Amino acid sequence: MTIQENVPLAPLTTLQVGGSAHYFAELRREDDVREAAQFAKSRNLPLFVLGGGSNLVVADSGWPGLVLRIAIGGITTQSTDASGNAVLFSVGAGVNWDDFVAQAVVQNCAGVECLSGIPGSVGGTPVQNVGAYGQEVADTIESVRALDLKEDRIVVLPKPACGFRYRTSIFNTTERGRYVILRVNFRLKRGGVPSLKYADLQKYFAERLAEKKTPPSLAEVREAVRDIRRSKGMLIVPGDDECRSAGSFFKNPVLSDAQFKDLAERAAAKGLEIPSYPALDAQRKVSAAWLVEHSGFSKGYGEGAAGISHKHALALVNRGDAKASDVVGLKDEIQHGVQEAWGILLEPEPVLVGF
Ligand SMILES: Cc1cc2nc3c(=O)[nH]c(=O)nc-3n(C[C@H](O)[C@H](O)[C@H](O)COP(=O)(O)OP(=O)(O)OC[C@H]3O[C@@H](n4cnc5c(N)ncnc54)[C@H](O)[C@@H]3O)c2cc1C
């Protein structure tokens, strides 16, 4: 295990802002993760676990302690029933998420096809229970293997212990900072039908679905999801400045009845109607994108180095030479504007590191 000093973090993130890690180690083996954690503990250094850096805003001052970049690889599969159709994939935390999805689809295994094109590592996905187009990783995660820093031992957390909810798990709430995820075990279904719950996907395949011909295959759904994501700046395409972002910057707020009533009254007073989406309504969520766009922040907003994407109202983009402070300044401005207009405080989705 090698510990490096003063390693710039911006190039290791999709938003590409922020300073350096005081200490940095890239780790491919579980033993090395343990050793690096000991190094930090013995020197009283704050620890930060880095995956693919796609959900982060790193402060301009960087990280004062040790950054562990998890690069544990390997995908193994095992059939777990007599028919051979229930397949357990054990995937190293450092595997690129989309590479795993591609492999699952090639093996004709359903369960993660709608999560195609999400950047980052496999180990990053349980943290905020990554989701898109009608699927979330909690649907297929069987267990998570992790180093428990509190007890200094390796544990296997079955799904119920992970506390998955919308963009939430124990890893980013009650037990934040306690576990380093080493492997994730997914149970997928060989020969399963692709999920077409989401309106965008139904629209994409409208003709085929109407004609009741052969339903789309897993591979076709994967390509459709990537196409739709590309059109929204939600697929990392080299050379496309619109995807120098951390994805959606704000979560869709989950409202109480009283908050929803207040929102509806404010909308009516402005002659507006709150849009209704079955996928959001079921969880009493309101579209954060709608709130942002109806608070004076349209796509392309912002004159400075940080702005709103031209393709997606929720993506804050680094237009080239933005600093973390520019991004956070824009975040504050949007939060303030939405709160003034609608009485709702939007919660950021990316993790703010070193602030
Ligand atoms: C263009 C774009 C589109 C996106 N689309 C979506 C989307 O559709 N849906 C969605 O849910 N998210 C989306 N995201 C957000 C992001 O891709 C996911 O949250 C992703 O799973 C983050 O993984 P990562 O490896 O990059 O984690 P990082 O950004 O490196 O880290 C994020 C958090 O996870 C922790 N972490 C990472 N790896 C580990 C580990 N091995 N052990 C313990 N903790 C760890 C970090 O400490 C940090 O707290 C998008 C981002 C971008 C840039």
220, 223, 333, 349: which one is catalytic?
349
Residue located nearest, by CA, to atom 10 of ligand 1: 130
- How remote is the CA of residue 90 from the centroid of ligand 1, in Å? 19
Q: Which residue of 100, 127, 137, 181 sits with most ligand 1 atoms within 8 Å of its CB, as the best mutation to test the pocket?
A: 127
210: amino acid identity, one letter: A
Q: How far apart are CA 70 and CA 247, in angstroms?
A: 21
CB of 289 within 8 A of CB of 313? yes
pLDDT in tens, the chain (355 residues): 899 999 999 999 999 999 999 999 999 999 999 999 999 999 999 999 999 999 999 999 999 999 999 999 999 999 888 887 999 999 999 999 999 999 999 999 999 999 999 999 999 999 999 999 999 999 999 999 999 999 999 999 999 999 999 899 999 999 999 999 999 999 999 999 999 988 899 999 988 878 877 889 999 999 999 999 999 999 999 888 888 999 999 999 988 888 888 999 999 999 998 887 776 776 678 999 999 999 999 999 998 999 999 999 999 999 989 999 999 999 999 999 999 999 999 999 999 999 9
Q: What is the number of the ligand 1 atom nearest to the C-alpha of 233?
A: 1
Angle at which helices 97-106 and 218-231 pack, to 10 degrees?
A: 150
CB of 80 within 8 A of CB of 88? yes
User: Pocket around ligand 1: residues whose beta carbon is below 6 Å from it?
Assistant: 14, 49-56, 70, 93, 118-121, 123-125, 127-128, 130-132, 171, 179-181, 234, 236, 243, 245-247, 351
pTM of the model: 0.95
What letters, b where the CB count within 10 A reaches 16 and e where it falls short, cover 206-238? eeeeeeeeeebebebbbbbbbebbbebbbbbee
Residue located nearest, by CA, to atom 14 of ligand 1: 247
Kind and range of the H or E run holding 264: helix 257-269
Strand partners, 8: 20
CB of 285 within 8 A of CB of 252? yes
CB-CB neighbours of 286 under 10 Å: 22
307: amino acid identity, one letter: G
How far apart, in Å, do the first and last CA atoms of the chain sit? 28
